[in-house]
Structure 1
């Protein structure tokens, strides 16, 4: 009897689609309401390159990036970091105003652009052996120009990171990662819109979270593929639709429900860069 030839399978190690250090860039943002801690949004750390040293290392000014509406009307926020060992996570207070009541954070000057940055010193976090990293402006981002060079288009896959509904464990902050696709971006490329749209469900708590491009090794003939995962934007809000309840007696609308379409608006990285430039002008010593 002839048996089929035995073949040895070449099993390769599964490769991560998101660089592990990106996970440690994302933080839960909380505040104190009536003496109780409440998680209200998502932020991430972004390093703005300001000096290239002779030994080849780079120096960065680190900012916490989130939405303006997450920080509005608050005096202080809490930012949680995970430990590298078995102890519990730690919440670090971050004042939003100085002793004279002046805002320490900067929001984009355009009212329609929902981006805010707060300069932060992460040395004490690192000294206490917390997991902490940041997106580097010269390595990990893709602005509109770069997205166009990559021939980014509708249907390209993305990851959305955040803490929907303020779901944060008692002693950890493990970010949720959800998949989606770019739903509309040509309006941004053609300067007809200031934002782009992703098909990804987000909820209160997600806002301010980063959006990452998903590495792809295949593409249709005549188009480019990209094997990079880059920061391409920040979640702004979901796009709602209205569902109206009609009275059977009067045939008139009685209640209007606002529902989540599953489509979400996103600010491009360019708006983060512009907001940081505004922060530098406001405080040249930063």
Structure 2
């Protein structure tokens, strides 16, 4: 049977594990994305945050194999470990935008030489909301975030964890003047780099009324969240990747700051 939209979305992400130069292991989320897509070709990349791979001397991820019916071979995976991991990523040219991409075409071609094929579902710029989509939004949409909070995932089947929430700021406007918005959802370490989507399947409400059908859009990429300290101060920190024992000094507000997906358009044409 064809994969449902949710099943396709489950195969759009990859768990990233990094050996950090200062010691320790950090985890984060990446997702597959197609750049420069046209009728004949595209450039496949993995998208994540710069801070996820910063200082990573080695990185690892698992890719699900594709079976003979061009479907995911659930439970069959191949692991990759890459040296000089941080240097393999192309950063967003704006130092204030916490995004980077890694081209994976060489890895896929190398695998094909051994008759190995992977299954993944890549997002692309056609899923980025257009101006007409923004006009239809009510301001309080339900969102879905896909990733690996606290590094957790279904390691037997190599599948991520879905989280639901709502927009905490109106997507039509830039939060505090930056191409960002807020979500009301639990954002734990390991969630950095998670895609945040508007995911309405079956029926959905817009400013123009109730519609029957599907509406799936890539709204942005999680990277940070406000926390309040035990002294009561409020700070904005990137969602951490490193799991370690610490004394409790900050408490998450269950809010996430998300980079708008339009920032991914900067990478179009950069890898040709």
Query: Which band: TM-score by shorter chain?
Result: 0.7 to 0.9
Give the match for residue 44 of structure 1: 31
Alignment of 1:220-235 (within 5 A): 222-223=208-209, 227-235=214-222
The answer on whether the counterparts of 1:89 and 1:171 sit within 8 Å (CA) in structure 2 is no
Residue 264 of structure 2 aligns to a residue whose secondary structure is: helix
Question: How far off its partner does 1:215 sit?
Answer: 1.0
Q: Deviations over 1:11-60 (max 9, x none)?
A: xxxx95x44222211000012469x99451000010113432xxxxx411
1:193 corresponding residue in structure 2: 178
Alpha-carbon distance, 1:184 to partner: 0.3
1:183/1:153 Cα in 2 relative to 1: closer, same or farther (>3 Å)?
Answer: farther
Cα deviation code 1:69-105 (max 9, x no counterpart): 00111233212123444654222234556xxxx9332
Stretches of structure 2 that go unaligned for 5 or more consecutive residues are: 66-71, 233-246
Distance in 1 separating the partners of 2:24 and 2:132: 40
The answer on whether the counterparts of 1:187 and 1:196 sit within 8 Å (CA) in structure 2 is no
Deviates more, 1:185-194 or 1:171-180: 185-194
Say whether the 8 Å CA contact 2:18–2:53 is kept in structure 1: no
Q: TM-score, normalised by structure 1?
A: 0.72
CA RMSD of aligned residues (A): 3.2
Aligned residues: 243
Name 1:238's counterpart in structure 2.
225
Structure 1 contact 240–259 (Cα < 8 Å) conserved: yes
Cα distance in 2 between the residues matched to 1:190 and 1:144: 18
- CA apart distance, 1:173: 2.1
SS in 1 for 2:205: coil
Q: CA deviation at 1:110?
A: 2.4
> Which segments of 5 or more consecutive residues in structure 1 lack a partner in the other structure?
1-14, 53-57, 246-254
2:15 is the counterpart of 1:28: yes
Q: Aligned residue for 1:159?
A: 144
Q: Secondary structure at the match of 2:253?
A: strand
Output the TM-score relative to the length of structure 2: 0.76
Q: 2:160 aligns with which of 156, 175, 182?
A: 175
Cα distance in 2, alignment partners of residues 125 and 185 from structure 1: 43
Q: Does 1:73 pair with 2:55?
A: yes
| Higher strand proportion (structure 1 or 2) | 2
Change (3 A) 1:94 1:133: farther
TM-superposition CA deviations, 1:122-159 (whole Å, max 9, x none): 34557424332211333xx123635414x224320110
Partner of 1:128: 116
